[in-house]
Amino acid sequence: GESVGLHLPTLSVQEGDNSIINCAYSNSASDYFIWYKQESGKGPQFIIDIRSNMDKRQGQRVTVLLNKTVKHLSLQIAATQPGDSAVYFCAENIYSSASKIIFGSGTRLSIRP
């Protein structure tokens, strides 16, 4: 069945260090993946996406890596800042399911000063 999961429910990182948030997916038919950030009291916010024909994509301070062999996705945040504190969700889209995306359970990132 379709499922998107996360390795760790919480992650604590020292301010200034890099953060790595991991995600596993089980559906090999998934061809598009998205990372969302959700701050307390707000809706999820799009961060970065990657298609299955790529293995790496970079944005501003963020990098997403995709390993299709082991069905693994990661989000790397460089020089983590207090404003990065949030819950991060990975989500997958299965082309046959049109616009429907499935969200993982989320990882809470907390920043130590």
- What residues line the site for another protein (CB under 8 A)? 32, 34, 36, 41-46, 49, 89, 93, 98-106
**Based on CB atoms, which residue is closest to another protein, 43 or 83?**
43
Q: Residue 86 Cβ, how far from another protein at the closest point, in Å?
A: 13
Q: What is the dihedral of CA 68, 70, 73, 74, to 10 degrees?
A: -130
Distance CA 8, CA 31 (A): 23
**Based on CB atoms, which residue is closest to another protein, 20 or 102?**
102
**Based on CB atoms, which residue is closest to another protein, 19 or 93?**
93
Distance CA 60, CA 24 (A): 23
